[in-house]
Amino acid sequence: MKVLYVHGLHSNPNPEKVKILEDAKLEVIAPFIDYDKEKGAVYNRVKAIAIEEQVDLVIGSSMGGFIAYWLAKDLNLPALLYNPALYFESVQQFIPKINNNNAPPLYFCLGEKDETVNPTEVKAYLDLQYPSSENFKIINASWLSHGIDLKTFASMTNWFLAETK
């Protein structure tokens, strides 16, 4: 299976996280994204990569989680999203109009200590989007802030893969 790993703002495709995905027997597509420079072109570029590479899954964190969320809905792919910046209006403009009727399996890992992306705001956003929670699952990670440590990344990846097989 192929996974598209979308890193966050002011970040990069962390080689240790890529290795965790490879160790889980995934073929990893992990492009570097300069969000500041690419601005509104990010979504279309990442979507083109996903289509060209014929990915089966998407994983994203923070701003990458925002991109991965919309990509999952657009291409109807399962997604694992770490602290996705879903409710930030400033980034909504970068997503083109897509078919919002797709309801792929979505898995969220929300850090309860996150001071960058408020987990309560993410949940409120999801409540507005999904009257029923049958299409997604949320792990409330009481130990986690905004950054995703390698142990959490590995365990959440294994959970996600077990759920989506």
How crowded is the C-beta side of 102, counted as CA atoms within 13 Å?
17
- Relative to beta strand 2-6, strand 27-29 is parallel
Report how far residue 41's alpha carbon sits from residue 149's, in angstroms, rounded to the nearest whole number: 29
User: Cα 35 vs. chain centroid, distance in angstroms?
Assistant: 15
The set of residues, in sequence order, having a beta carbon less than 8 Å from that of 137 and lying 6+ positions away, is 106, 107, 108, 163
pTM: 0.92
- Domain count for the chain: 1
Report how far residue 78's alpha carbon sits from residue 23's, in angstroms, rounded to the nearest whole number: 19
The whole domain housing 40 covers: 2-164
Q: Which residue has the higher pLDDT, 100 or 137?
A: 137
Contact 83, 109 (CB under 8 A): yes
| 3-7, 41-45, 58-62, 86-90, range with the lowest pLDDT | 86-90
Going across the sheet that includes 2-6, the strands are 27-29, 2-6, 57-61, 79-82, 106-111, 136-141
pLDDT exceeds 70 at position 93: no
For residue 142, the tally of other CB atoms under 10 A from its CB is 8
Distances (CA, A) of 65 to 6, 83: 7, 7
- The Cα angle at residue 48 between residues 95 and 21, in degrees rounded to 5: 95
Any idea what the CATH number is for the domain that residue 52 is in? 3.40.50.1820
pLDDT tens for 17-68 read: 999 999 999 999 999 999 888 878 889 999 999 999 999 999 999 999 999 9
Report how far residue 85's alpha carbon sits from residue 9's, in angstroms, rounded to the nearest whole number: 10
Report how far residue 137's alpha carbon sits from residue 130's, in angstroms, rounded to the nearest whole number: 12
Per-residue pLDDT, 117? 93
